[in-house]
């Protein structure tokens, strides 16, 4: 392996890992804020207990999201200095805005919420958690603006480097406008699943139904909204992807030759090198619909796009690794929809104050906790690997982005260090989530704001 | 003033904010085994920084991202050159960050002891390495004509840089002790005062030598005055803490660290990363900068939002202004 491969592995591992915590943070912050609001409005102590219970799980996650996020910012300079030199003028701005507009907000107001229960008036305290929720979405917007620029570089002129021409265009990139709702709704799905799965575990044991029944239903609604929303926004995104990165769409379907109409295959068994399908179960016309919005639209195949890219960008191989694109695309959709299905069943079983169901559905609900994480991970793997060989589509290839002064041994060292550290922390974090997920919700007492002895 | 100059100042301000703020929470972290006698006291010490350390760390994230946006060449050269030290800093900051959240999550002395060790290491190592890094920035790196680092890790561990590391380590430890004296009650506060005076004397000697040494790398009368003022405020801070004027002591040690950072950046200017191979290869405020368009955009955002950030971060310190005891 050379530095490009190692740096890519490191980026992949650290990003997918970071994005296990981000969706939970974004999703749970909104759900905790909703429960906190319900308590402030109704005074029902069950909502306060729920707020505190989910707040604890939220905080365990938030810590991991924060610390793994710093790695993301630093490794652009450490591993990808040529990329950073090339795009810094455009790509740096959203990162800086993310820090200035969102991270300060999140960290400060989260601390106020976390430690301010008995120091702030109820409404101010409530506003703190909403500020955190909004801050985390602002943060997602800027980071996705940076990512969307890599997918579809608008608002720039390229001289020696990519230079900012129109920041408005960067912030209204059509890829961004579809990716942002797609990601946020996916985050609600992830946060919702946590509520759903943990509540199901307690309800199956008939514990604290006053806290966990509303939590389960709130979670299930979030999952349903998330699943439906990702499906719709994903459909929009697919059409934009077909216009902007036809190779990516072709790779997602492993469609080698242009077809009209094009079918969508539910699964395919292909040759080992992934260049030819052997058997496929297909839905006629569906890919045409996904890609173009019409059931008999024309979808370009890999081979044709490859020829076209060679004409536009010169000789070279412009094909991503197709089996990976094909399967990650399907698994992303499949796992997300499965979570939606579980939520639908649970909402049905718990409607009208009821709490029924066989053991298996509760078990399924508990295990559904892994679904959004699989969906998110495959989603990132798809969107980042199916863009290859480009690091910035049509502007810079990934092989030209690495740090020329950093050796293989150095990248390998950090890859090993991060993998080990992240592995250990994953075990610790999972252990804590399970421990605190199984605990009874805390009591409902909040002491009123008192007079502290001031230090200054 | 050119926008490139504005952003040089802005980056300096962000690092200043980072070192003044995270400086004291590093100090409290480092002093955990020194000041606290038992678990309740360790708990109380951590409580003094718990609501603010994360917000303090965002100054680092903002400094990094702002450098990326305003001086892409600086960011690229610096971060790839400091690869291994940054790796160590990242690992220790990660462990420290989760330690704050995780240490109280299991009722086991071994569990808490391990995370406390993480907090100590995660405070000690970055406090040392940031000094090493900044001394190297001022001193310059082996940059070639493409601004790529061609030196080794061993080159980064030169005497001046190591001395810089010890200086920040001692400064932050003292700053943390002064903060702790202010924010705690009883026995913890008394011990913190004693520690502040002791580490403070060591830090004062280090900072005098380090800042004098720094003047050799392009100092002027102005930078010498800044350095002298830094030393004076630091010494006054030690006097104040000894006399029980803890609010003043903290303010003065913050000023001392702030002036130290400013004097380092003043010596560095107009370079942002000098080349020790050939001055022609140096990165300067001009050749490392982003386009005027990007700088202009960021200036507007910073002018509007940085005061807002200061306002609500200040409010946090006000909300959590009470002293903390081990009771």
- pLDDT tens-digit readout, B127-138: 999 999 999 999
Q: How far is A90 from chain B (nearest CA, A)?
A: 7
Half-sphere exposure for B79 (CA within 13 Å, toward CB): 30
Q: Which of B78, B98, B249, B289 to mutate to test the interface with A (most CBs of A within 10 A)?
A: B98
- Neighbouring CB atoms inside 10 A of B152's CB total 10
Residue B271 host element (H or E):
strand B271-273
Q: Return the residue matching tokens 């090493």.
A: B132
Question: Which of A81, A103, A120 shows the shortest C-beta gap to B80?
Answer: A81
B309 at A interface, C-beta within 8 A: yes
Percent of chain B predicted with pLDDT > 90 = 84
The token pair at A110 is: 């989260």
- The residues with which A299 forms a beta bridge, in sequence order, are A259
Q: Taking CB atoms and an 8 Å limit, are A92 and B65 in contact across chains?
A: yes
Alpha-carbon span B300 to B303, nearest angstrom:
5
Tens-place pLDDT, residues A285-294: 888 888 888 8
- The residues with which B284 forms a beta bridge, in sequence order, are B271
Residue whose C-alpha is closest to residue A357's, from A367, A372, A339, A342: A342
Please check whether residue A99 is in contact with residue B65, taking contact to mean a CB–CB distance below 8 angstroms: yes
Q: How far is A399 from chain B (nearest CA, A)?
A: 16
The pLDDT of residue A180 is: 96
Alpha-carbon span A326 to A131, nearest angstrom:
39
The pLDDT of residue A1 is: 76
Q: How far is A414 from chain B (nearest CA, A)?
A: 7
Residue whose C-alpha is closest to residue A3's, from B90, B35, B307, B80: B80
Ramachandran bin of A453, using left for φ above 0, alpha for ψ from -120 to 50, beta for the remaining angles: beta
Half-sphere exposure for B112 (CA within 13 Å, toward CB): 15
Alpha-carbon span B37 to B77, nearest angstrom:
45
Give φ, ψ of B148 to 5 degrees: -95, 145
3-state class (DSSP) for residue A231: helix
Asked whether residue B188 carries a pLDDT value surpassing 60, the answer given is yes
Q: Taking CB atoms and an 8 Å limit, are A59 and B101 in contact across chains?
A: yes
Q: Return the residue matching tokens 């924060």.
A: A66
The pLDDT of residue A452 is: 52
Q: How far is B220 from chain A (nearest CA, A)?
A: 32
Asked whether residue B221 carries a pLDDT value surpassing 60, the answer given is yes
The pLDDT of residue A57 is: 94
The token pair at A148 is: 């969307």
Which residues of chain B make contact with A97, given a CB cutoff of 8 A?
301
Which residues of chain B make contact with A24, given a CB cutoff of 8 A?
none
The token pair at B206 is: 């280090």
Residues 252-281 of B with CB under 8 A from A: none
Mean pLDDT for chain B? 93
The pLDDT of residue A262 is: 82
In A, minimum Cα distance to B179 occurs at: A455
Q: Taking CB atoms and an 8 Å limit, are A60 and B102 in contact across chains?
A: yes
Give φ, ψ of B287 to 5 degrees: -80, -5
Alpha-carbon span B48 to B189, nearest angstrom:
11
Give φ, ψ of A80 to 5 degrees: -125, 50
Q: Above 0.85 for ipTM, yes or no?
A: yes
A156-158 and A162-164: which strand pairing? antiparallel
Q: Taking CB atoms and an 8 Å limit, are A96 and B66 in contact across chains?
A: yes
Tens-place pLDDT, residues A170-183: 999 999 999 999 99
Burial class of B259 by CB neighbour count within 10 A (0 to 12, 13 to 18, 19+):
buried
Alpha-carbon span A309 to B38, nearest angstrom:
67
Question: Which of B55, B70, B148 shows the shortest C-beta gap to A111?
Answer: B55
Alpha-carbon span B244 to B107, nearest angstrom:
36
In A, minimum Cα distance to B14 occurs at: A100
Asked whether residue B48 carries a pLDDT value surpassing 90, the answer given is yes
DSSP letter assigned to residue A388: T
Which residues of chain B make contact with A429, given a CB cutoff of 8 A?
98
B61 at A interface, C-beta within 8 A: yes
The pLDDT of residue A453 is: 59
The pLDDT of residue A294 is: 82
CA distances from A256 to A300, A365, A385 (A): 8, 39, 18
- The residues with which A279 forms a beta bridge, in sequence order, are A269
Residues of chain A with pLDDT under 50: 449
Per DSSP (E only), the strands in A171-313 are: 264-270, 277-283
Tens-place pLDDT, residues A41-97: 998 999 999 999 999 999 999 989 999 999 999 999 999 999 999 999 999 999 999
Alpha-carbon span B99 to A163, nearest angstrom:
41
DSSP letter assigned to residue B216: T
Alpha-carbon span A418 to A412, nearest angstrom:
10
- The residues with which A270 forms a beta bridge, in sequence order, are A277
pTM for this model (two decimals): 0.92
Please check whether residue B168 is in contact with residue B128, taking contact to mean a CB–CB distance below 8 angstroms: yes
The pLDDT of residue A136 is: 94
Which residues of chain B make contact with A84, given a CB cutoff of 8 A?
68, 72, 75-76, 79
CA distances from A195 to A22, A53, A84, A238, B319 (A): 16, 10, 39, 30, 31
Q: Taking CB atoms and an 8 Å limit, are B320 and A119 in contact across chains?
A: yes
Residue whose C-alpha is closest to residue A139's, from A222, A7, A21, A10: A21
Which residues of chain B make contact with A116, given a CB cutoff of 8 A?
319
Helices (H), chain B: 3-30, 32-35, 39-49, 53-70, 72-81, 83-102, 109-139, 153-156, 159-183, 186-215, 221-242, 246-268, 292-319
The pLDDT of residue A261 is: 79
Please check whether residue A10 is in contact with residue A418, taking contact to mean a CB–CB distance below 8 angstroms: yes
The pLDDT of residue A448 is: 52
The token pair at B243 is: 């006399």
Asked whether residue B115 carries a pLDDT value surpassing 90, the answer given is yes
- What number of C-beta contacts closer than 8 Å exist between A and B? 228
Q: Taking CB atoms and an 8 Å limit, are A89 and B57 in contact across chains?
A: no
- The residues with which A454 forms a beta bridge, in sequence order, are B322
Which residues of chain B make contact with A110, given a CB cutoff of 8 A?
54
Which residues of chain B make contact with A418, given a CB cutoff of 8 A?
91
Q: Which of A104, A143, A412, A430 to mutate to test the interface with B (most CBs of B within 10 A)?
A: A104
B149 at A interface, C-beta within 8 A: yes
The token pair at A453 is: 């002895």
Q: Return the residue matching tokens 């992807």.
A: A241
Alpha-carbon span A415 to A88, nearest angstrom:
24
The pLDDT of residue A455 is: 62
B121 at A interface, C-beta within 8 A: no
The pLDDT of residue A237 is: 92
């Amino acid at each position: 392996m050379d530095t490009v491969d190692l740096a890519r592995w490191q980026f992949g591992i650290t990003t997918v890992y970071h994005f296990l915590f981000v969706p939970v943070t974004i999703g749970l912050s909104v759900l905790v804020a909703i429960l906190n609001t319900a308590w402030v409005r109704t005074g029902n102590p069950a909502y306060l207990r729920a707020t505190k219970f989910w707040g604890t799980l939220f905080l365990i996650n938030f810590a991991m999201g924060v610390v793994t996020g710093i790695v993301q910012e630093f490794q652009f300079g450490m591993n990808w200095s040529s990329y950073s030199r090339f795009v810094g003028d455009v790509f740096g701005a959203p990162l800086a805005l993310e820090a200035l507009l969102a991270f300060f907000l999140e960290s400060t107001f989260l601390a106020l919420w976390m430690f301010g229960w008995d120091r702030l008036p109820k409404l101010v305290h409530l506003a703190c958690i909403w500020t955190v929720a909004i801050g985390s979405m602002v943060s997602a917007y800027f980071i996705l603006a940076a990512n969307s620029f890599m997918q579809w570089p608008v608002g720039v002129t390229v001289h020696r480097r990519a230079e900012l021409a129109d920041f408005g265009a960067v912030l209204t990139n059509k890829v961004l406008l579809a990716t942002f709702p797609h990601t946020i709704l996916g985050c609600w799905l992830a946060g919702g699943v946590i509520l759903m799965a943990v509540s199901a575990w307690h309800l199956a044991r008939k514990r604290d139904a006053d806290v966990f029944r509303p939590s389960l239903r709130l979670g299930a609604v979030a999952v349903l909204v998330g699943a439906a929303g990702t499906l719709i926004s994903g459909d929009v995104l697919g059409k934009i992807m077909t216009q902007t990165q036809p190779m990516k769409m072709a790779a997602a379907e492993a469609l080698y030759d242009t077809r009209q109409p094009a079918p969508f295959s539910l699964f395919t068994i292909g040759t080992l090198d992934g260049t030819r399908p052997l058997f496929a179960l297909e839905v006629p016309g569906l890919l045409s619909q996904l890609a173009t919005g019409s059931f008999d639209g024309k979808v370009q195949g890999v081979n044709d796009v490859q020829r076209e890219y060679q004409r536009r960008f010169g000789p070279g191989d412009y094909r991503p690794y197709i089996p990976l694109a094909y399967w990650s695309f399907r698994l992303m959709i499949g796992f997300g929809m499965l979570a939606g299905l579980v939520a639908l069943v649970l909402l049905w079983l718990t409607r009208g104050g009821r709490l029924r169901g066989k053991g298996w559905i509760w078990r399924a609900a508990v295990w559904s906790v892994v679904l959004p994480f699989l969906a998110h991970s495959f989603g990132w793997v798809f969107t980042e690997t199916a863009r290859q060989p480009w690091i910035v589509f049509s502007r810079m290839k990934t092989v030209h982005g690495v740090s020329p002064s950093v050796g293989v041994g150095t990248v390998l060292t950090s890859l090993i260090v991060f993998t080990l550290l992240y592995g250990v922390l994953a075990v610790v974090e999972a252990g804590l989530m399970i421990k605190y997920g199984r605990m009874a919700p805390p009591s409902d007492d909040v002491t009123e704001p008192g007079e502290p002895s001031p230090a200054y | 003033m050119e926008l490139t100059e504005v952003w040089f100042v802005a980056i300096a301000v962000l690092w200043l904010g980072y070192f003044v703020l995270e400086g004291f929470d590093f100090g409290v972290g480092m002093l955990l085994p020194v000041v606290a006698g038992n678990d309740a006291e360790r708990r109380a010490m951590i409580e003094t920084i718990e609501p603010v350390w994360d917000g303090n760390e965002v100054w680092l994230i903002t400094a990094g991202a702002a450098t990326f946006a305003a001086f892409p060449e600086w960011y690229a050269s610096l971060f790839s050159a400091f690869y291994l030290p940054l790796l160590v800093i990242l690992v220790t900051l990660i462990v420290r960050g989760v330690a704050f959240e995780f240490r109280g999550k299991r009722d086991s002395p071994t569990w808490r002891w391990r995370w406390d060790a993480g907090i100590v290491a995660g405070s000690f190592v970055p406090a040392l390495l940031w000094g090493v890094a900044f001394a190297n920035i001022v001193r310059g790196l082996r940059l070639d004509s493409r601004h790529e680092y061609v030196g080794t890790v061993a080159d980064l561990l030169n005497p001046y840089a190591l001395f810089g590391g010890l200086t920040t380590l001692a400064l932050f430890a003292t700053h943390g002790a002064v903060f702790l004296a202010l924010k705690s009650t009883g026995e913890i506060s008394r011990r913190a005062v004693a520690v502040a005076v002791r580490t403070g004397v060591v830090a004062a000697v280090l900072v005098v030598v380090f800042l004098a040494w720094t003047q050799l790398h392009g100092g002027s009368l102005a930078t010498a005055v800044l350095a002298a003022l830094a030393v004076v405020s630091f010494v006054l801070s030690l006097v104040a803490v000894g006399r029980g004027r803890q609010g003043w002591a903290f303010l003065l040690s913050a000023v001392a660290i702030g002036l130290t950072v400013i004097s380092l950046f003043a010596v560095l200017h107009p370079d942002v990363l000098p080349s020790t191979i050939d001055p022609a290869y140096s990165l300067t405020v001009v050749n490392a900068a982003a386009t005027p368009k990007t700088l202009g955009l960021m200036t507007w955002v910073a002018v509007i939002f940085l005061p807002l950030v200061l306002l609500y971060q200040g409010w946090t310190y006000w909300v959590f202004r009470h002293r903390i005891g081990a009771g």
